[in-house]
Chains A and B, each alone.
Chain A
Amino acid sequence: MGAPTIVADGVGKRFQLHHRRATSLKERLLLHRQSSSEGFWALREVDLEIGAGQTVGLIGPNGSGKSTLLKVLSGILAPTTGTVAVRGRVASLLELGAGFNGELTGRENVYLNAAILGLPRRETERYFDDIVAFAELEPFIDNQVKHYSSGQYVRLGFAVAVHVSPDILLIDEVLAVGDESFQRKCLNKIAEFQQRGCTILFVTHALDLIPRICSRGVVLDHGRVLHDGDPVEAAERLRSLLGTGADQSGGAAAGTDRPKVAAVRLFDPASGAAKGHFRGGEAMAVELDVAAPAGSAPVAVRMAVTGPADVPMWVMDSEPLHPGPDGTATVRFTVKELPQIKGIYALAVAVRDPASNVTYDARRFGEAFLAAGDTATGVLEVVWTAEQVEHQVQP
């Protein structure tokens, strides 16, 4: 970690609630002085020190102050209390293409937007072709921007912003827009910035991105820093904050007289302690309660562990379970050795009739557990080597 490039010291931000405040001279004269002490603290006592070259993920529930913090750090909003010190050229991507003018062509907007972001015209001229190529807008660059699709608009905005060659990049949830290939391109660009030693702070709701590209995760809640440190733990902290239990229910043949998925528990099979954060190679146990009407026929449980984009990683099927006199049954799946996977995984659970395979009830437990490896990026950790192959020179 290099010298800190962003230092926030006791930063608080209070927004005035304006409904009692005069917004015109006329009101001001007619209403006399009103006390406008009502306020809302969007940020409270935020201490943050970000070193050069760090990539920090900023997460939190809606309204927790993430965007406000980015705006304060980028100098758009002045903090109510505390101080902010930022060293280096900042590019804040709070909204892509902010400041584009629909009447102007793409070309004119590139020059305008680059000037707003502080790029000298000479450099804009030098990067112009790169910017257009990155945005994939060569044929449309002389069209008016008001005729662009929203994807084209955003691509051009991102392209200009990243060519400003910032030391610090502040990104607010902008990666959520654009199609998949463009998102990949953005992530590649971010990786490029990381290699160049650029400091990156970004807000995201895509929790699986945090362990993938961040070296540090910060969780905000109600304007306070709840967690600052390991990105996987940060994602887990937010997950527990959001209370992500069963986030999706319903299913094939749900009815009151049918067996249902009641609850799911993850724990360490050795100690029996509840756990939501596993490392590759560790043992993991999942218990599932099924609630069925008294005297039900046997049921079977199928559990799929799904990764990013709900791709099933593996599927576990139980033997037929015989509900007790009160209709409940519990099944425990034990994974002796978790594979070397990384990221946040969900459990897709179905209760079925073992004879006909008809599904009685299916539920998805989103962000059920986290798995973390120590090295490598990607979803899987695989043992591999790389070596240069000598070519035989043909005489």
Chain B
Amino acid sequence: MVQAQSAADARAAAQSRVRLELLTELVRKDLKVKYKNSALGFIWSLANPLLYLAVFTLVFDKLLKNGIEAFPVLFMSGFLVWNFFNLATLSGTGSVVGNANLVRKVRFPRVVLPLSSVGFAGVHFVLQLGVLLALLLVFYRDAFGAQLVLLVPALAVVVVFATAMALLSSALNVRFRDVEHLLEVILLAWFWLTPIVYPVTYIRDNLAGSSPWLFRLYMANPMTGVVTAMQRAIYVHPVADGRQILPSGGYGFYLTWLGVAGVIALVLLAAGLWTFRRLQADFAEEL
């Protein structure tokens, strides 16, 4: 009995190793296919956020003169993580439909398809974050302190949340093909409802007095929890005069909302897994 049990465990372990290898192989494929025919290859994926940075800095910092100290740092600390979430969700949505030929002809664990999209976005994010940290080392040394540890829970939450979204939307997109288009619009609205381009304190100052519940609802957006935590981790809270940029100099505020985001992300992950499992039996038929 014990032997049979350990043999079963070994088989299960071998199976999950094979699945992990499949996942790596799929991420590698996506990266290779994407950058195979471009001479600059990966540089493009790094240039993309820099382009956004240039535009947003020009418009909000230089033209609208929002007066935020080190606006590029505030912007990038939220934007990169948003970019990861956006890319993982969108490419995840098309992951099953895009591999229709495979799904219709070969048996393999379908769940690796949306997961590989998250991995694909993750590779980009890690490289972009690496470049950001390198730049901060040169231009914004203040970022390197104990608060940087906040990156760990923030990234954990966003990975779970993006995985949940990718699972859910990839499965639904097989049944309803316009989920992909709908999601693009939703993500655009979502971007502006998340404090990336503007500080969260602007919202708080406008809402906290009149309708505190509306502010709590605003904060309950998991991406807001993640983005504010990222900002606290990288952007140094200015003790400056006048307006506050970050809502709190401590960590309680950020960890609380990150906790809320984490719970929502886990619930959504369970829902995503359940939906994916339920719908995957019909994938080969629907495609």
Contact = CB atoms under 8 A, between A and B. Distances in A.
Contacts of A98: 101-102, 104-106
Nearest to B36: A103
B276 to A, nearest CB: 14
Nearest to B22: A115
Given A24-B176, A104-B32, A115-B21, A77 B284 contact: yes
Nearest to B175: A23
Contact of B107 (A23, A92, A103, A120): A92
B260 interface: no
A26 B176 CA distance: 9
B32 A103 contact: yes
Contacts of B282: 78
Interface in B1-59: 14, 17-18, 21-22, 25-26, 28-29, 32-33, 36-37
Contact of A104 (B33, B175, B285): B33
Interface in B183-232: none
A75 B107 contact: yes
B171 to A, nearest CB: 14
Interface string B81-103: 00000000000000000010111
Nearest to A121: B21
- The main secondary structure of chain A at its interface with chain B is loop
A76 B281 CA distance: 8
Interface in A34-79: 71, 74-78
A87 to B, nearest CB: 13
B32 A28 contact: no
Contacts of B26: 112, 115
Contacts of B182: 25
A353 interface: no
B243 to A, nearest CB: 42
B102 to A, nearest CB: 4
A101 B29 contact: yes
A151 interface: no
B101 A76 contact: no
A193 to B, nearest CB: 18
A94 interface: yes
Contacts of A26: 178
Nearest to B99: A99
Contacts of B28: 112
A103 B32 CA distance: 8
Give the bracket for the number of chain A residues in contact with chain B: 20 to 34
A89 to B, nearest CB: 11
A76 B106 contact: yes
Interface residues of B, number: 32
A116 interface: yes
A267 interface: no
A135 B36 CA distance: 25
Contacts of A25: 176, 178-179, 182
Interface string A259-285: 000000000000000000000000000
A173 interface: no
A28 B32 CA distance: 38
B158 to A, nearest CB: 26
A127 interface: no
Contact of A120 (B17, B102, B103): B17
Contact of B108 (A22, A78, A111, A117): A117
B177 interface: yes
Contacts of A8: none
Given A78-B282, A120-B17, A90 B105 contact: no
A103 B28 CA distance: 13
A111 B25 contact: yes
Q: Which of B101, B102, B107, B175 has the most chain A CB within a 10 Å cutoff?
A: B107
Contact of B177 (A24, A71, A76, A104): A24
Contact of A76 (B14, B18, B32, B104): B104
B101 A101 contact: no
Contact of A112 (B14, B29, B103, B107): B29
Contact of A99 (B18, B32, B105, B285): B105
A99 B176 contact: no
B178 A78 contact: no
Given A101-B29, A112-B26, A116-B102, A74 B21 contact: no
Given A101-B29, A104-B32, A76 B21 contact: no
A16 B285 CA distance: 9
Nearest to B105: A98
B33 A101 contact: yes
Interface in A1-37: 15-16, 22-26, 28
Nearest to B109: A118
B176 A103 contact: no
Contacts of A24: 176-178
A381 interface: no
Contacts of B101: 95, 98-99
A108 interface: yes
Contacts of B18: 115, 118-120
A53 B282 CA distance: 31
Nearest to B21: A121
Given A92-B106, A99-B106, A23 B176 contact: yes
Contacts of B284: 71, 76-77
22 contacts: A23-B177, A24-B177, A25-B179, A76-B103, A76-B104, A76-B105, A78-B282, A94-B105, A98-B101, A101-B33, A103-B32, A103-B36, A104-B32, A104-B33, A115-B18, A115-B22, A115-B26, A116-B22, A116-B106, A118-B22, A119-B18, A121-B21
Q: Which 10 A-B pairs have the closest CB atoms?
A: A98-B105, A78-B281, A24-B178, A115-B25, A99-B102, A115-B22, A95-B105, A25-B176, A75-B107, A103-B33
Given A98-B104, A101-B29, 9 more contacts: A28-B176, A77-B285, A90-B107, A94-B105, A112-B29, A115-B21, A116-B102, A120-B17, A120-B18
Interface of A: 15-16, 22-26, 28, 71, 74-78, 90, 92, 94-95, 98-99, 101, 103-104, 108, 111-112, 115-121
